[in-house]
Structure 1
Amino acid sequence: MVAFDEPLPYIGVTPFQLVSALIILLVGYLVAKILVSLLKRSLRKTKLPPLVVEFLGRFLAILLYVVVIIVALGAVGISVSPLILGLSAVIGLILGFGLQDTLTNLAAGVWIAALRPIDLGEVVEVSGQVGKVSGIGLMSTELMTPDNRVITIPNKLVWGSIIVNYTRMPTRRVDVDIGVAYGTDLDRAIKLAMDLMKGHPKVLDDPEPSVVITALADSSINLQLRAWAKTDDYWDVKGDLTKGIYELYTREGIEIPFPQLDVHLRNE
């Protein structure tokens, strides 16, 4: 019968050391979970964004797990000093040759989580891609397009590009462009457009809607209907006004021209 303090065959570790290591792993795991939970609970009472709280919790958990593993290895008689030095050298090589982009994405993810130029559920344009933010991770950000495509963008591209947030503000201005023929009674055309916007139930009274002349184009005088609506109603209002102004001008005899080219032939 093997004594409790005698090394086991082939592995050179005593049963006491094995039991000690297992206890350290178990207790260390439980303590790490408790500490991470306490940290998250404390941070949630502050004004830190949830993503920052989650990131700090994961970082502390990884750090504690590494410490527990090192202590457990020391309990079975493994010298941890060379291990730490070896890990440091390996990490240095990896950082020097292969993880520049990873660290850049990680740092960008921290800034995104802290400053929140985008948030879950918002519709944004990032790096030329438009979609609803469905996930923000430490390394990448996911957008869901209207046709159910998932676009994954590295965080360094998110943080390093111009971000257009379409839904951050509670209201948006709806712009509808339309052209009328030269010779049109502009005052009448503008009044009809104003009546259309003011009669729409989802167009806000404040700011007041307006109609402006944007260009004297080659084939038309271009008008722009500008109406304010709640952000959630943006597309409904835009669709209704686009359809409504076309039908209204057609019914009222206001010509909506299209580009055309006059060709003159001469007989010689």
Structure 2
Amino acid sequence: MEFFQSIADTFQSVFIESDKWKHIALAIIYLIAGYIAVKTLRRILIPVIRKTMPRQIGRLLQNVIGVAIWTIALIQALSAMGIDVVSILGAAGVVGIAIGFASQTSLSNLISGIFLVGEKSVNIGDTIQISGFTGTIENIGLLSVKLRQADNAVVRVPNETLIKTPVVNITGDTLRRCDFDIGVAYDSDLSTVERLIHKVVTSQDTLATEPAPVVQFVAFADSALSLRVGAWCKTGDYLQARMEFAKNILQEFKEHGINIPFPIRTVEIVGNTDTPS
């Protein structure tokens, strides 16, 4: 309590005694100088960082420098106003013990962010899937990564989550495999079905012929023979390739009499089937 009382007394003397206004002015000057220093350093560093470092490292470095400069400016401003910064830092250490557990998550996210930047497993501009979300990385910050989804919604993912959770980097390569699950009627000629599938893949501009497409038998399903088609496309063409394949294979099956059956259920009614009067 004595410490907090000393802080209150200091602020009271600052605003009551007229000769303390010069200290207030000096503190304001320190804060303005800190603001100018942050803006100037960023203006100087940004062109250098863009030429010599990956974007995510550059943004992280800018944030660290900004926090460091503002911390120094704030300490100088408090000292100029006659506040005992050493006592404040000492009290902060005592309070820090009490709130240490609460800050564990932030510290973990900060350390995870450093690992993300150093490992370069994901980069700004990559499209990833994580914890049910799919989006493009717009920013890798000190504590979190910002994802923008296809519907323009922004998802904030803590850095720690990206370290502990499996992440699918969709744009990690120029090619991506499209998997299609298809069911055909039991009376279908599988050789004809396979030939038609290869015809569609080789004639479709958004699908690649190398690596070669694969047609696999999956199972004797309840109502159909289940097949799986694996074909490759450029990563950026993934959604368009899937839509075009669906339209083209349906057209080919229709022209050659290949049916994609609907599930059929036979219901038997046991007992008296007479309709009541």
For Structure 1 versus Structure 2, the TM-score category normalised by the shorter chain is: 0.7 to 0.9
Cα separation, 1, equivalents of 2:122 and 2:176: 17
The 1:173–1:86 alpha-carbon spacing in structure 2 relative to 1, beyond 3 Å, is same
Matched, 1:228 2:232: yes
Contact 1:134 1:143 in 2 (8 A): yes
2:110 corresponds to which residue? 106
Change beyond 3 A, Cα 1:79–1:214: same
Q: Is 2:143 the partner of 1:133?
A: no
Q: Is the 8 A contact 1:131 1:143 kept in 2?
A: yes
The corresponding residue for 2:166 is 162
The separation in 1 between residues aligned to 2:109 and 2:190, in whole angstroms, is: 54
In structure 1, stretches of 5+ residues that fail to align are 1-6
Structure 2 distance, partners of 1:101, 1:154, is 9
Spell out the pairing of 1:1-268 with structure 2 (5 A cutoff): 10-11=16-17, 13=19, 21=27, 23-27=29-33, 29-31=35-37, 33-35=39-41, 43-47=49-53, 49-94=54-99, 96-263=100-267
CA distance, structure 1, for counterparts of residue 15 and residue 158 of structure 2: 50
Q: Which has the higher helix share?
A: 2
1:91 and 1:227 mapped to 2: Cα distance?
56
The unaligned stretches of length 5 or more in structure 2 are 1-12, 273-277
Equivalent position amino acid for 1:241 in 2: F
Alpha-carbon distance in 2 for matches of 1:212, 1:74 = 74
Indicate the larger mover: 35-44 or 159-168: 35-44
Task: Quote the Cα distance in structure 2 between the aligned partners of 1:179 and 1:28.
Answer: 67
Q: Which residue of 2 aligns with 1:4?
A: none
SS in 2 for 1:201: coil
Alignment RMSD: 3.3
Structure 1 residues 72 and 214, CA gap change in structure 2 (3 angstroms): same
Offset, 1:163: 0.9
8 Å CA contact 1:105, 1:156 repeated in 2: yes
